[in-house]
A and B are shown apart, each in its own frame.
Chain A
Amino acid sequence: MRIDAYIAEYARKIPQNIALEEGKNSVSYSCLDNDINTIVLTLDDFKHCRFAILAESGMLYVKVLMAVYRSTNIAVPLPIEFPKFSLEKILYTAHINNIITTDTQYSRFGEDFFERFGTVIIISGSTSGEFLRKKIETEANNPELRLVLYTSGTTGTPKGVMLSDRNLIANAESIIKILRINSRDKGALVISPHHAFGNSIINSHLMAGSSVRIGNMNFIDSVFSLIGSDVSIFYGVPSTYRILLRYLERFRKDFSNVRTAASAGGGMDRSIVKEIRELAPDIEILPMYGQTEATARLAYLPAEDVDEFIDTIGKAIPGVILDVFDSEYRPVKPGITGELVATGDNIMLGYLDDEIATEKRIINGWLHTGDLAQKLPNGYIRLLGRKDDLLKIGDHRVNPREIERNIEENNEVSRVFVVPVHHELMGTAISLMVIPAEGTEIEKLFAFCRKSLPGYLCPREILFIDHLPLSENGKISNRSIIEEYKHVKASM
């Protein structure tokens, strides 16, 4: 079955129930199903072709996504918070011939941006989509491929995670179970729908016949009003909660009817949990853990264990097996550090057009997460950092070495080092340590970062250094960079 088939089923069984809400608008399952069918008519000549979707979050985005599924094509949502050249790099590596975009994004990105596509469809709330151009090309795609989500690619090589209908359905079913989503629930989608977490909110709520209220985090009053409008399950990354917790009284008021505060995308710390508990004592806090490579979710911490085990990711969601392996792919005993591995129907088909990267991540059917972990005696799992040097910045997974290379290649500078630093709202932000060259200007570096990287990667400060941040054994790593940074700050 495909996700959109559930919508068709609910359009028959509970046609009047609300499926999506946005601002003052809402759409029932019956209307949603019709709207999807209307867009499908536009896409009908294409068979299993890749369609980039360049659209802001909203009901229209969900309709387009479901129409791509229903017309048996492949959806490639583009993360619109990425700068233009990152999107261009994704499009270049993903060989995408077709794009569906909204009026808003068409005028924002401009005519030139769309010239690379054979097919351009512009869609607005009131149309079924109009062809600016149409060119149908036969494509050789993995027969099971339905959705491609980009996990990185702000800098460096974009990695497109290939997901199948089976992946999407299996993960949504697990999420429905752990969150007990039923047709009376209303989920809040205020994070980006173009990434795994946001996408999983749409899938799980529509598969459960419940509704999704769509908004964003830009305007605090609007977010709280959204939460206060009978939302029963709120979803956020840790920084979402940090931002909302700046407004204590408003949090107390608008979260009073929310049954569950779910999180993913990064570890919730004790202080966030404590503050939520104080303001909304009856709320169920449900931290979850996952990866795009696993469609979205892998583990969750049952609500009753949040206070005692908040420093763990809890246990596997139904349908998933988690284990910790040593370097020879053998399970280790509790208390021994190894790599967290996972298997289940939610594990990706692989990376798009990148068999080498796929073979490194999926070995004998196990997804190797890259997260170092230990099993506890009760079976729960504690994470202990990354096997590689990837960082979580503002709850996004980034590769600091790629950011450094990108800044070095595009600026008058000798060397650049990314330092993870504490940030009140994002949890972790970055600063830069720079070995200057002739002509290095701090303002130009700031300007480059602001323009060429998403907002969460704009450096908090740029410090000049005069030597490489080497460790005792002469290597450069996150650890040696952080050590050097501490040293520089202490001597300032």
Chain B
Amino acid sequence: MEQIKNDIVDYLKANSFMDNGSSLKDNDSLTQNGIIDSIGLLELMDYICEKYSIEIPEDMLTPENFDSLQGITNMITKLAK
């Protein structure tokens, strides 16, 4: 779980969505805090699909699964099984 979270944070930092110095709590909203927008979310989704070799059905593209580190991590864990 922690590894996935770190990967996502690394991605967000590498693509400058976040500053290197800043931190993100597990349940912080990515969209409401202005970290990522709709195009950015689609790109993040493509990254996740490739990185974890998973396909994300569109009915899983919900705020519960995609708006926080925790949600994304849970979703990846579920789909990667």
Contact = CB atoms under 8 A, between A and B. Distances in A.
B63 A450 contact: no
The range of chain B's interface size is 20 to 34
15 contacts: A81-B34, A81-B37, A217-B38, A218-B37, A218-B38, A218-B63, A218-B67, A220-B58, A221-B58, A222-B61, A222-B63, A243-B39, A246-B42, A446-B15, A455-B36
B32 interface: yes
Interface string A234-264: 0000010001001100100000000000000
Nearest to A109: B34
B76 to A, nearest CB: 16
Given A108-B32, A450-B15, A450-B17, A220 B40 contact: no
A425 B42 contact: yes
Given A221-B60, A221-B61, 13 more contacts: A108-B33, A217-B38, A218-B37, A218-B41, A218-B66, A218-B67, A219-B66, A243-B39, A243-B42, A246-B42, A250-B59, A425-B39, A446-B16
Contact of A220 (B32, B36, B61): B61
A219 B33 contact: no
Q: Is the interface of B mostly helix, strand, loop or mixed?
A: loop
Given A56-B32, A243-B42, A451 B63 contact: no
A437 interface: no
Interface string B28-66: 000111101111111000000000000000111111001
- Listed from nearest, the 3 A-B pairs whose CB atoms lie closest are A450-B16, A220-B61, A455-B37
Interface in A359-405: 394
A456 interface: yes
B62 A104 contact: no
Contacts of A247: 58
A226 to B, nearest CB: 12
Contacts of A455: 36-37, 39-40
A81 B32 CA distance: 10
Interface in A412-467: 425-426, 446-447, 449-451, 454-456, 458
